[in-house]
Chains A and B, each alone.
Chain A
Amino acid sequence: MRKYRIRKFPARLLLVIVIIAIIAFNPKIFLSLRGFAFNTLAKPFKFLTSIKTHFTKINELSEKNLRLKQRLATLSVLLARLDDTAYENKRLQALLDFKRNVRFKSVAAKVIGRDSTDWRKSIIINKGKKDGIRQRMPCATAKGFIGSVVEVGSSSSKVILINDPNSKVGVILESSRESGVLIGSPQGSCKVIYLSVDAKIDKGEKILTAGFSTFFPKGLLIGEVISTGVEKTKLYKYAIVDLFEDMNKIEEIICIDTLGHEKY
């Protein structure tokens, strides 16, 4: 038994040496064998690493997800702000165009509050005496005339809107040239009264400021006629008016200084 082992040993050794020699002198076989050995031995490590990577990736992904969610929320806010700014820009551009066409100097103001009661229609603006606002200054938006200043503070003022029950504005109808007085109501609707009973007034006819007083300039758009009727006394006609500007949604206005110097 022992002899057999001793006899077999050099043969095996020789075989190993021959194999090593072949491998050593043939780089292709050496590389492929080395690659095979490496791959086989590395498999358990790869498996363990993949588990670790998996968990690390989950952590990273969840962090990334959180970061992306936060970014999305920020971007949504920014987008909403951008939309709002774009809309504001559009409104201000229209207001600026309107301001350029007005013959008088004017002061732009933002609406900062509204009347606390439902029966009166007024707004509070962020400009006052120190900005050049005076009582009875007419106010307008790009869509047209909206009211006049009634109370002036140092840095804020109150503007009575044309749909207030106590508002009275001299107006003229664009094509029929009929003149009357535009009044508001506690419900917020407007009508033109004191129109001559035989006046021919078309539906959709535009209503403009008449410019009879020193305060309100002539030709500012107000609204259009939606229906007409005759007063109970049968002496005058009246016209129900659809205002061009939605009085509940005014955000920026200009106050026209009709008593100041004209621009041109």
Chain B
Amino acid sequence: MKNINRIKIYATLFMLLVIEIAVFKNLAIFGTRPELLLIFTVFFGFHFGIARGMEAGLVSGILKDVFSITGFGINIFSFIAIGFLAGFLKNKLIKENFITQFTFSMLSVLILSSVYFLYLAEIVKNDIGTGFWKVVLYKGLYTAIFAPFLFFIFTLVFSPKET
């Protein structure tokens, strides 16, 4: 595996977080923003394997949790799981195909949202199901549309090579 500069990874992650929070605040569709950090985690899992996927997931999750009032660890857990899954499926999927990127990104949003649903259902005690999954669908589509473009950019930046 090609040796990747960790500073470059963390700087990219931080930049993506800033874009997600500051820029997409004004580009929200149905109140949702695309999960750029999630796409990054999936990309790393797909191209660099389980360990790197989980590492990217860990850092993404920490960044997400720091800037949220969500219970600390929810994002870390979810992102690591998604990084693991992407790394696990590294050689089982045609990761260069944009349909794979689109579908897997949408699936990742579904996994992340399911964790949130369980967490919110536990703390809120009110009925949050109404409209929740509709928003998940918008969020999933919004993220999935961005996935192929970001995969292309990440490929140029990190130039992953097959082992």
Contact = CB atoms under 8 A, between A and B. Distances in A.
| A associates with B | yes
A118 B24 CA distance: 11
B69 A151 contact: yes
Contact of B67 (A116, A160, A183, A186): A116
B126 A165 contact: yes
B47 interface: no
B134 to A, nearest CB: 8
Interface in B10-60: 17, 20-21, 25, 28, 30-33
B69 A186 contact: no
Interface string A118-130: 1110101000000
B70 A187 contact: no
A151 B116 CA distance: 20
Given A151-B69, A166-B123, A118 B139 contact: yes
The size class of the interface chain A forms with chain B is: 20 to 34
A120 B68 contact: yes
Contacts of B25: 114, 248
Contacts of A119: 70, 113, 116, 120
Interface in B113-136: 113, 116, 120, 123-124, 126, 128, 130-132, 135
Given A116-B20, A117-B75, A187-B131, A124 B124 contact: no
Given A116-B21, A117-B64, A187-B131, A166 B31 contact: no
Interface in A123-148: 124
A164 B32 CA distance: 14
A107 interface: no
B63 interface: yes
Interface residues of B, number: 29
Interface string B74-86: 0100000000000
B69 A118 contact: no
Contact of B21 (A114, A150, A183): A114
A61 to B, nearest CB: 41
B70 A120 contact: yes
Contact of B70 (A113, A117, A248): A117
Contacts of A114: 21, 25, 67
A115 B69 CA distance: 7
Q: Which 5 A-B pairs have the closest CB atoms?
A: A116-B67, A122-B69, A119-B116, A165-B124, A116-B64
Interface of B: 17, 20-21, 25, 28, 30-33, 63-64, 66-70, 75, 113, 116, 120, 123-124, 126, 128, 130-132, 135, 139
21 contacts: A113-B67, A114-B21, A114-B25, A115-B67, A115-B69, A116-B20, A116-B21, A116-B63, A118-B33, A119-B70, A119-B113, A119-B116, A119-B120, A120-B69, A124-B67, A151-B69, A160-B69, A164-B69, A165-B120, A166-B120, A248-B25
